[in-house]
């Protein structure tokens, strides 16, 4: 996908906010050859299905999860990403909130729009009517059936979306009853509906996962959240590939939390954490950041139609990258990129004033 003026503006806005740029993350990925090779290997075999992406704040975990999602879609997987936020209704102890967030965000390459409705449409187009009985989740069967029996622009489709997008009981789905059994059934059947719809499988991405430690300030909730975590990372209990963005201290902090609040089996938890494959994001070098500065400059030039590359070079782009690098430290990719965008914004305003 080649960027145009409008997509370049969107990319820059994401970078200003410290967010990974959707759909163009690979173009802003530098110094990550080892990590990218590992991701390709993950999608090339059927080994352990869970991974911990380890990095400090601002080091690129969210960006790497975005890249994993892009690669997964290119390789023909269904993909859903969830950013945990206990203060705004995405709590990991509440599987109704997780399930409906997945349904809102699930997508694939070429999808008309994100959301479970596009998945239903793909399933219907790829299967005979009787294939619906191969789905084990009653909510997915009902969703597909109702989607097939409604017109594309009918109000009924909005009712179906609402039933899957909002964590509450509807006429035929109750996401939280019986210890969230319908939520888990639906999540475990996404691999199945993916394969039946012609995809290679289902990939689930969890960002800001340490929200369960820092913001979920309730012992009972934290205990349930880690019960869910260990269920997701057990291939006998959850089917699909799942990635979690965490800090390098996550395993230690998890055991410390479980010990201090007296929940869970510590030895069993240690064993499970040790067995989850991990890869640690290495810090980027100054050379990497200078390449990244060039990339940001190219998008700035495209977005605002000015001679950014020449003028930024004359204005000391490499020097600005170096200053940002030394000021922010090697592990603050997010802040370094934000400072480069701010510098280019100021240079653009200066040039516009002179004109």
Tens digits of per-residue pLDDT, 4-34? 999 999 999 999 988 888 888 888 888 888 8
- The answer, yes or no, to whether residue 184 has pLDDT greater than 60, is yes
- Token readout for 68 is 């994993």
Q: What is the pLDDT of residue 329?
A: 59
Q: CA-to-CA distance for 57 and 261, rounded, in angstroms?
A: 25
- pLDDT-above-90 percentage for the chain: 66
pLDDT interval class at 50 (50, 70, 90): very high
Mean pLDDT of 198-225: 94
Q: CA-to-CA distance for 60 and 72, rounded, in angstroms?
A: 18
pLDDT interval class at 209 (50, 70, 90): very high
Could you tell me which of 187, 190, 135, 143 has the C-alpha nearest to residue 163?
A: 143
pLDDT interval class at 104 (50, 70, 90): very high
- The answer, yes or no, to whether residue 354 has pLDDT greater than 90, is no
Alpha helices in the chain (DSSP H): 5-16, 33-42, 61-74, 95-105, 116-126, 138-148, 155-165, 177-196, 211-214, 219-232, 250-260, 266-275, 286-304, 308-315, 317-328, 333-354
Bridge partners, 79 (sequence order):
107, 203
pLDDT digits (tens, 9 = 90+) for 139-161: 999 999 999 999 999 999 999 99
Mean pLDDT of 169-194: 91
Q: CB burial class (10 A; 0-12, 13-18, 19+) of residue 133?
A: exposed
Q: What is the pLDDT of residue 46?
A: 67
pLDDT interval class at 48 (50, 70, 90): low
Q: What is the pLDDT of residue 328?
A: 61
Domain positions in the chain: 32-280, 286-354
Classify 206 in phi/psi space as left (phi over 0), alpha (psi -120 to 50) or beta: beta
Q: What is the pLDDT of residue 163?
A: 94
pLDDT digits (tens, 9 = 90+) for 233-267: 999 999 999 999 999 999 999 999 999 998 889 99
pLDDT interval class at 279 (50, 70, 90): confident
Q: What is the pLDDT of residue 337?
A: 86
Query: Which residues have a Cβ under 8 Å from the Cβ of 355 and sit 6 or more positions away?
Result: none
DSSP 151: -
- The answer, yes or no, to whether residue 301 has pLDDT greater than 80, is yes
Q: What is the pLDDT of residue 355?
A: 66
Could you tell me which of 247, 246, 328, 248 has the C-alpha nearest to residue 289?
A: 328
Q: Give the C-alpha distances (Å, rounded to integers) separating 71 from 41, 63, 66, 78.
A: 11, 12, 9, 11
pTM value is 0.88
Mean pLDDT of 310-323: 88
pLDDT interval class at 326 (50, 70, 90): confident
- The answer, yes or no, to whether residue 47 has pLDDT greater than 70, is no
Q: What is the pLDDT of residue 271?
A: 93
- The answer, yes or no, to whether residue 101 has pLDDT greater than 90, is yes
Mean confidence (pLDDT) of the chain = 91
């Amino acid at each position: 996908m080649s960027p145009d003026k409008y997509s370049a503006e969107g990319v820059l806005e994401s970078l200003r906010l410290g967010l990974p740029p959707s759909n163009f993350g690979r173009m802003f990925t530098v110094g990550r050859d080892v990590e990218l090779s590992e991701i390709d290997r993950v999608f090339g075999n059927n080994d352990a299905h869970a991974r911990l992406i380890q990095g400090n704040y601002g080091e690129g975990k969210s960006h790497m999860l975005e890249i994993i999602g892009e690669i997964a879609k290119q390789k023909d997987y269904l993909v859903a990403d969830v950013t945990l936020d206990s203060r705004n209704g995405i709590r990991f102890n509440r599987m109704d909130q997780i399930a409906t967030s997945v349904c809102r965000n699930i997508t694939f390459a070429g999808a008309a729009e994100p959301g479970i409705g596009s998945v239903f449409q793909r399933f219907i187009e790829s299967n005979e009517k009787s294939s619906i009985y191969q789905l084990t989740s009653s909510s997915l069967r009902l969703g597909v059936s109702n989607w097939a029996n409604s017109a594309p622009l009918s109000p009924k489709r909005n009712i179906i979306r609402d039933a899957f997008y909002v964590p509450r009981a509807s006429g035929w789905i109750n996401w939280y009853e019986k210890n969230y059994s319908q939520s888990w059934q639906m999540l475990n059947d996404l691999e199945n509906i993916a394969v039946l719809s012609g995809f290679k499988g289902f990939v689930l991405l969890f960002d800001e996962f340490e929200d369960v430690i820092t913001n979920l300030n309730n012992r009972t909730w934290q205990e349930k959240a880690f019960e869910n975590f260990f269920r997701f990372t057990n291939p006998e209990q959850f089917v699909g590939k799942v990635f979690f963005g965490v800090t390098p201290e996550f395993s230690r902090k998890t055991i410390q939390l479980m010990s201090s609040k007296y929940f869970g089996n510590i030895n069993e938890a240690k064993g499970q954490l040790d067995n989850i494959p991990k890869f640690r994001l290495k810090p980027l070098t100054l050379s990497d950041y200078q390449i990244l500065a060039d990339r940001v400059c190219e998008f700035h030039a495209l977005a605002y139609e000015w001679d950014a590359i020449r003028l930024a070079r004359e204005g000391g782009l490499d020097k600005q990258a170096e200053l940002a690098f030394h000021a922010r430290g090697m592990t603050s990719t997010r802040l370094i990129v934000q400072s480069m965008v701010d510098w280019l914004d100021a240079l653009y305003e200066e040039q516009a004033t002179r004109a």
